[in-house]
Amino acid sequence: METSDKKAQPAPESRFTVSAWTLATDRWMGRVIRVGGVGVVLAVFGMLAFLIFQVFPLFTGAKVASVGVLKVPATAVAFGEDEYGDIPYVVLADGKVVFQRAKDGSTALEWVPSLGGRTVTAVRTYPRAGQVFLGLSDGAVQELRVVYRSSFDAAGKRTVEPTVTALEPMQVGRPGLPCLEVWNAKSPQARLMLVRQEVAGQPLLTAVRLTERKGLGGKAKVTQSEPFVVAADAPSVAKVLLPSTAESLLIIGKTGEVRTYADDGKGFAFLQAFVPFKDSPDAAITAAGMIFGNVSVVFTGRSGEQQIWSMYPQLQPDGKSLRRWGKIHHGERLAGPGAGIYAAEGNKCYLAVAAGELRLINMTTGSLRWQGAAPQGAITQVAFAGNYDRFTALSADGQLHRWTVVDHHPESSWSAFFGKIWYEGATEPAYTWQSSAGSDEFEAKYSLVPLFYGTVKGTIYALLFALPIALTAAVYVSQFLRPEYRQVIKPVMEIMASLPSVVLGFLAGLWLAPLVDPRLVSLFCAIGILAPAALSAGFLWSALPQRLRRQVAPGMEFLWLLPFLALCAWAAWQAGPAVEAALFTVKDSASGLPIADFREWWRQTTGETYDSRNSLVVGFVMGFAVIPIVFTIAEDALSNVPNSLISGSLALGASRWQTVWSVVVPTAISGIVSGVMIGFGRAIGETMIVVMATGNTAVMDSNPFSGMRTLSANIAVELPEAAVGHTHYRALFLGACCLFLLTFVINTLAEVLRQRLRERYKVV
């Protein structure tokens, strides 16, 4: 008889055998995934390397190299050169002009002035303008104009021929007295010529104005004013500084006192007197020079100390704000007494000569761009090329020394990007970003601190709005809402994440800001009532009898909550004008009548500005871009908490809210933190909303009703206009590098925090 239970037959071996195709596919897919992961990491670090490559030149110093020495006559007292430095010229003590070729030192031209029995007693050249001024023994001044004419032969070879044109001598100084020094400057209205003479050992400064008018025929007519005395009250004259604009005058006395004068149309009126080194045992000034822009002067003392003084608005005892000279920088001490300060063309750098040493320094940042040995002979004159690619120095031993300069970013330094700098014209040191202006003398300002401030400010306002809504919504949807409604709400929130930020920015700038601007108090009232209204709704719901509450299915309580909140918000909105009239009434500056206007109340009460496109609008709209991201990730984390934990908590007598707060949230905290940090990164990198919904001004202002500029918005706005390789261009890349590192650090910290929370609250 056969037994009913038979031995189980073993499964065929082929059932446990994996096909070769499956193994190969698995092996190759594993390799592809590993390569892809490594590729992503390399791409991220490659982008960082590219950013660093673009930024690195900002922090390299100037490269200065000597290109030779040209031997000139020993009696040379001044020099000039052409645009390319091919045929420089020197002016001898007797007024003779000698042109020499730089490549071999051969003489190209010698020009001798015709002085009619007079002698040359002073010489001054303006190399960039091609002007030479000869002060004569009778107080007259003769102007020479140097012109380089270029011609090209059939082979395209360029030939340069210098020419000298002598104008008629003009009587500037007192007749019969020799000119000891001569200066020339040109204002928009006239040209000023100034000479220094001595009468019985006392200084005498005399000037004339030359006004040029062109007639209908195009011929210019020059009118010379009567000579007038300048700075007659100066007790001594050691050095005179005349800006190229002829709008002011600085007289440096032998005792170290500096007296300043301003052009008042008739003469030069006394403006101010100050002593730069009044705290030093010896207040004497050994060298001084005006910096490009004509509103700043560098002074050096006997001990090598440096001070930079500039004109800026200062509050006077009578309450008026006037432009006066004040110290803005204390430069690094030189190796010895300053022997000369020579300004560069086109930027704020200058060459300081002291104790056999040359230093190329940026005035604004104080950074040392280059340092080298000075020539053996005393330097009498230095001139920079117009494009700051070379400079030439004339030494007292009859030599022209020439250097090339490679310094593409003279205004850049760590302090310029991250420090507080006192810029020309400013009343105090500040963090400033201002990359362009309409003046050639404008000094670009590249502080990234206001952009960091704006980035953090916009992020904080966005998160203040987004996080409470996103997190509470995630808790409610995942734990309290009925599943059929959850299946609708979550996809809708995920679709919101795909809204283009340019659309949100457009709505914020052109629709939302004008809409809420006149009803701001109503909006505050409506928002402020939501939390108390929600608590009141919960209290009222709990106070209802059980038989009524059981009529509403679990998860459907929002049918009572939403209408109640809407009603409270509507009532608060309608009460806004009454609240504004009761609390924010001020006197109208035009009519003198009381008006209820929160915007004017804010301006008059706080002294702050009020812009319709402000930080609150940005935070409100940017919050809508952050809410879907935070909500989705947090809701997933909360929904993935094991049901066994929730059921166990409820079985032990905990309420639904106690279960959520004590069990669900701690278990899902790592995912919630991840969602918050990803939303944080989304807010930091937001661009178009900030560009379109604010004034986009780089200011450091905690005022919630002012605008701002973020790092990302700054890059988007200015990068298309930045010249490739320029300091502005690389400063924008520095901002991008900082933004990259900021988000990298934040994400790294978020991951570390997430892992620690996961270990702390993991389910065993």
Report DSSP state, residue 663.
Answer: I
Contact yes or no for 541/560 (Cβ under 8 A) = yes
Angle 625-671-622 (CA atoms, 0-180°, nearest 5)? 10
Please tell me the total count of domains within the chain. 1
- In 3D space, the residue among 300, 319, 297, 316 whose CA is nearest the CA of residue 248 turns out to be 297
Q: Cβ-count burial of 78 within 10 angstroms (0-12 exposed, 13-18 middle, 19+ buried)? A: buried
Q: How many helices, marked H, and strands, marked E, lie in the chain?
A: 18, 34
3-class DSSP state of 368: strand
Domain that holds residue 562: 519-611
Calpha distance 706→416 (Å, rounded): 25
Residue among 669, 679, 654, 280 at smallest CA distance from 469: 679
Does residue 204 fall inside a structural domain?
no
Q: Are 699 and 450 in contact (CB under 8 A)?
A: yes
Locate the DSSP E strands across 296-373: 296-301, 306-315, 321-331, 338-343, 349-354, 357-362, 368-373
The SS3 call for residue 589 is coil
Whether the model pTM is above 0.75: yes
512 falls within a domain: no
Q: How many CA atoms lie within 13 A of 512 on its CB side?
A: 23
Q: pLDDT averaged over the chain?
A: 88
| CB 443, CB 348: distance < 8 Å | yes
CA distances 271 to 231, 329, 642, Å, are 11, 21, 82
Looking at residue 601, its amino acid is W
Contacting residues for 115 by C-beta, under 8 A, at least 6 apart: 95, 136, 142
Structure token digits, residue 480: 């309290």
Question: How would you class 558 by CB atoms within 10 Å of its CB: exposed for 0-12, middle for 13-18, buried for 19 or more?
Answer: middle
Long-range contacts of 312-316 (CB under 8 A, 24+ apart): 312/424, 312/425, 312/426, 312/427, 313/425, 313/427, 314/427
Closest-CA residue to 395 (of 350, 339, 438): 339
- Which is it for strands 399-406 and 390-395: parallel, antiparallel or unpaired? antiparallel
User: Measured in Å, how far apart are the chain's first and last C-alpha atoms?
Assistant: 54
Question: CA nearest 295: which of 162, 399, 424, 159?
Answer: 424
Backbone angles phi, psi at 599, to 5 degrees: -65, -45
Find the length of the chain.
Answer: 764
Strand partners, 65: 404
Sign of torsion over alpha carbons 157, 126, 399, 99: positive
Does a structural domain hold residue 528? yes
CB 281 within 8 A of CB 269: no
Quick count: other Cβ atoms within 10 Å of Cβ 159?
9
Identify which of 603, 633, 614, 459 has the alpha carbon closest to the alpha carbon of residue 523. Answer: 614
pLDDT of residue 1: 45
DSSP state, residue 10: P
Return the pLDDT at 762: 65
Q: What does the DSSP 8-state code read for residue 374?
A: P
Cβ neighbours around 314 below 10 Å, total: 14
* SS3 state of residue 647: helix
pLDDT of residue 439: 61
**Which residue, 592, 333, 607, 634, is CA-closest to 477?**
634
Burial 575-598 (b: 16+ CB within 10 A, else e): bbeebbeeebebeeeeeeeebbbb
Question: Per residue in 528-544, is it b (16+ CB within 10 Å) or e — as a string?
Answer: ebeeebeeebeeeeeee
- pLDDT tens digits, one per residue of 6-40: 556 665 666 667 788 888 888 899 899 999 999 99
Phi and psi angles of residue 759, each rounded to the nearest 5 degrees, phi first: -70, -35
**pLDDT per position as a tens digit, 111-154:** 999 888 899 999 999 998 899 999 999 999 999 999 998 888 77
CA distances from 596 to 58, 581, 586, 599 (A): 53, 5, 6, 9
User: Please, which residues bridge with residue 120 across strands?
Assistant: 136
Q: Is residue 581 part of a domain?
A: yes
Backbone angles phi, psi at 2, to 5 degrees: -80, 135
Return the sign of the alpha-carbon dihedral for residues 363, 365, 370, 373.
positive
Provide the 3-class DSSP secondary structure of residue 223: strand
Residue 554 within a domain: yes
Q: CA-to-CA distance for 669 and 667, rounded, in angstroms?
A: 6
Q: What SS3 state is found at 343? A: strand
- Specify if 604 maps to a domain: yes
Distance in angstroms (rounded) separating the CA atoms of residues 362 and 742: 30
Domain assignment present for 201: no
Q: What is the per-residue pLDDT for 388?
A: 92
Which amino acid, residue 510? L
CA angle 448–53–456, rounded 5-degree value: 25
Asked whether 404 and 390 are in contact (CB, 8 A), the reply is yes
Which residues lie below 8 Å from residue 271, measured CB to CB, with a gap of 6+?
A: 248, 260, 261, 262, 324
Alpha helices by DSSP H, listed for 497-557, are 501-507, 513-516, 520-543, 546-549
Q: How many of the other CB atoms lie within 10 Å of CB of 548?
A: 9
Q: Does residue 492 fall inside a structural domain? A: no
Segments of the chain with pLDDT less than 70: 1-16, 214-220, 438-441, 761-764
Nearest C-alpha neighbor of 334 from the set 302, 288, 380, 375: 302
User: What is d(CA 388, CA 369) in angstroms, rounded to the nearest whole number?
Assistant: 13
